């Protein structure tokens, strides 16, 4: 069966910000074989290519002058490894649905990562994390398609070089491989992770109760992308040297801050934005969410240009107030599919 290539495709339904935009062409693939076929299409040999999951962490700043390949590779499987469960997911699986599915099978360990938007394949790229846990804590391996050789390979957790919202897929292997599957190792001797804020006062500490609390808190703080276009947390929580963090705390005693290892401290970007007077701010069709300053939103008629202008203003205000420079967590892509924030931040 031949691939269904759609020319001059509207990108609005393919990213959660739902901003207007187009691509030269778009194709949806259902398997690693189709992914390899799409990547090697002769008609687009000299065109930029971009693999997209649910688009929950992507904004197209310009018309994309190439082929968008939407990863729809499905599959869920559980393997009993004795002391652990190995949960295998196709890269196109919806992450939250996979978390709920694992819990329905009585498998605990992913509950802290409930309701994070995106696909399983996107999770290792960003090393998604929430409520005291990161994907790297449970990742056993990542299956990849080597785009140059057209071969499948398996990377171990160590080979993925995970960091805070970072991985080898954002560095050395960027543009060279595509994630087609993820393996998660979850211990049967499970213990709850309750060290993060809203989870500390839970009386019922079963995995389902933790997931319910996480989902409730996330829904209270984060707008539903299907109702109000957004990509969740727009900015990374900045990590600063301890000396800088302690100096800020001396001047702002109520400032949230957390140890980040190696003499560093992590600050709460949402708090910095709110204290800079930007919470609820609007710029034409976009704005800073009224309940969560870390989230930028599309009020329905926003454009990428307006979003960039607002994001730039947020960064400027925080820098002026605190001397801390925020960086986007969201991928801002130009016509070639390259991240282009530095161009607008300068």
**How is residue 26 written in tokens?**
């778009």
Rounded Cα distance between 3 and 16, Å, is 25
CB contact at 8 A, 60 and 102: no
Is 165 catalytic? The answer is: yes
Contact 228, 297 (CB under 8 A): yes
Point out the catalytic residue in the list 33, 37, 329, 338: 329
Q: Are 95 and 130 in contact (CB under 8 A)?
A: no
Q: Which of these is catalytic: 111, 114, 136, 165?
A: 165
* Cβ proximity of 111 and 105 under 8 Å: no
Is the alpha carbon torsion for 134, 137, 140, 141 positive or negative? positive
CA angle 288, 293, 294 (to 5 degrees): 100
Catalytic site residue from 213, 233, 276, 331: 233
Best CA proximity match to 49, nearest among 337, 262, 273, 339: 337
SS3 250: helix
- 335 catalytically annotated: no
Report the run of H or E that residue 86 belongs to, with start and end: strand 84-90
Which residues are catalytically annotated? 165, 233, 329
């Amino acid at each position: 069966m031949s691939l269904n290539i759609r020319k001059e495709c509207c990108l609005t339904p393919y990213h959660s910000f739902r901003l207007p935009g187009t691509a030269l062409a778009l194709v949806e693939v259902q398997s690693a074989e189709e992914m390899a076929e799409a990547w090697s299409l002769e008609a687009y040999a000299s065109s930029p290519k971009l693999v997209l999951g649910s688009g929950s962490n992507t904004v197209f700043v310009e018309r994309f002058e190439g082929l968008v390949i939407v990863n729809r590779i499905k599959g869920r499987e559980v393997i009993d490894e004795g002391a652990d469960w190995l949960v295998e997911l196709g890269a196109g699986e919806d992450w939250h649905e996979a978390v709920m599915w694992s819990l329905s099978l009585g498998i605990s360990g992913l509950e802290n990562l409930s309701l994070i938007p995106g696909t399983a394949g996107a999770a290792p790229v960003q090393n998604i994390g929430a409520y005291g846990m990161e994907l790297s804590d449970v990742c056993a391996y990542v299956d990849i398609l080597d785009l140059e050789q057209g071969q499948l390979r398996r990377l171990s957790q160590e080979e993925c070089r995970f960091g805070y919202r970072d991985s080898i897929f954002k560095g050395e292997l960027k543009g060279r491989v595509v994630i087609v599957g993820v393996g998660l190792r979850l211990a049967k001797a499970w213990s709850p992770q309750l060290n993060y804020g809203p989870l500390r006062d839970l009386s019922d500490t079963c995995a389902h109760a933790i997931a319910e609390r996480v989902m409730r808190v996330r829904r209270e703080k984060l707008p539903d992308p299907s109702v109000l276009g957004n990509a969740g947390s727009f900015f990374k929580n900045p990590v600063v040297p301890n000396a800088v963090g302690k100096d800020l705390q001396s001047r702002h005693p109520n400032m949230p801050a957390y140890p980040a290892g190696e003499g560093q401290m992590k600050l709460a970007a949402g708090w910095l934005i709110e204290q800079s007077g930007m919470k609820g701010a609007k710029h034409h069709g976009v704005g800073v969410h009224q309940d969560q300053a870390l989230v930028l939103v599309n009020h329905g008629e926003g454009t990428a240009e307006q979003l960039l202008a607002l994001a730039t203003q947020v960064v400027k205000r925080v820098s002026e107030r605190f001397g801390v420079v925020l960086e986007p967590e969201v991928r801002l892509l130009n016509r070639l599919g390259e991240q282009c924030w530095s161009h607008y931040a300068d």
